[in-house]
Amino acid sequence: MNIILASKSPRRTEILSLMNIKHIVIPSKEEEKIEKQLSPIEVVKSLAFQKANSIAKDHPDDLVIGSDTIVVVNNEILGKPKDYQDAVRMLQLLQNNTHQVMTGVSLIKGNYIDTFVDIADVTFNKMTEEDIKKYLETDKPFDKAGAYGIQDEHANFVQKISGDYYTIMGLPKEKLQIHLNEIL
């Protein structure tokens, strides 16, 4: 049995490697479908399931891990920024505020499906326009929900984290290990 990560995220690969989980990467090419009436938790669970299921269909004997991360602030879901201006808007919303990072994970092996969510709270310091501009020029947050990476070298605007650091990075290490222990 192979363990397949249905994501091209280098951060998720890094987390699985830290957990000593040998895996192969087969990114989902599925077009993400989000139903507007769903709650943020239901959205992130649905996205994780869609990714895992798109790969699991062709790999019924393997364990497929699908994952998705969103940022929620003031009931608004922030995915990856569309462009530079969208990234600025997101960081302005997040600065001097506490938001939630939700990572959904879906484990599929044959008929076995286990989908769960982990949530971490992140508080940002106040950021000036110059801080935002410098961060966007220095780091490349355009492939990250909420336009920032907690692990980025210049992410010094994070004041406080409550929850699993790895949930914010894209894969909840502790919770994932518990769920994997049930299936492996």
Considering 68, 114, 139, 164, which one is annotated as catalytic? 68
* Chain Cα centroid distance, residue 85: 21
Q: Where are the domains of the chain?
A: 3-183
d(CA 122, CA 145) in angstroms, rounded, equals 13
Class of domain 3-183: alpha beta
Active site residue 143: no
pTM to 2 decimals?
0.94
Q: What is the pLDDT of residues 2-14, one digit of tens each?
A: 999 999 999 999 9
d(CA 115, CA 131) in angstroms, rounded, equals 37
Q: What is the pLDDT of residues 115-144, one digit of tens each?
A: 999 999 999 999 999 999 999 988 678 889
What are the distances in angstroms from CA 162 to CA 99, 136, 165? Answer: 10, 25, 8
